[in-house]
């Protein structure tokens, strides 16, 4: 799913989520999702033996500047759902 910075309408659930997080900030759990800056895949992993270097399994990109998304628990669940990842 490509992330676009255009002025498309923010989904209602997202607006609601923002309002909610202001009232109960303390308990909000966030999950960090790292993505490849080249192909936006989350199939990236750290390179063993190289500190802070990531490698993309999809396009073989390698570097330190990965994209980071911070998701709330709800967003993270949606993310996993879209990803279709099976919980082992
Ligand atoms: Zn990639």
Portion of the chain with pLDDT greater than 90, in percent:
57
User: What value does the mean pLDDT of the chain take?
Assistant: 83
pTM of the model: 0.58
Helical segments of the chain, H only: 12-23, 73-83
Distance from Cα 2 to the centre of ligand 1, integer Å: 12
Q: From the CA of 25, how far away is ligand 1's center (Å)?
A: 33
What's the pLDDT tens digit per position in 26-46? Answer: 667 899 999 999 999 999 999
Distance 37 CA to ligand 1 centre (A): 7
- Residue 43 CB contacts under 8 Å (≥ 6 apart), including other chains: 36, 56, 57, 58
Average pLDDT of 13-21? 61
* Residue 39 CB coordination number (10 Å): 14
Confidence of residue 84 (pLDDT cuts 50, 70, 90): confident
CA 24 / ligand 1 centre spacing (Å): 35
Q: How many alpha carbons fall within 13 Å on the CB side of residue 63?
A: 9
Q: How far is the CA of 65 from the centre of ligand 1 (A)?
A: 12
């Amino acid at each position: 799913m490509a992330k676009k910075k255009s002025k498309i309408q923010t989904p209602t659930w997202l607006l609601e989520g923002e309002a909610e997080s202001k009232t109960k900030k303390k308990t909000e759990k966030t999950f960090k999702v790292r993505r490849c800056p080249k192909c936006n895949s989350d199939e990236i992993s750290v390179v063993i033996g190289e500190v802070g270097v990531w490698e993309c399994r999809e396009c073989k990109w390698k570097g330190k500047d990965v994209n980071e998304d911070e998701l709330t628990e709800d967003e993270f669940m949606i993310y996993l759902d879209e990803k279709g990842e099976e919980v082992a």
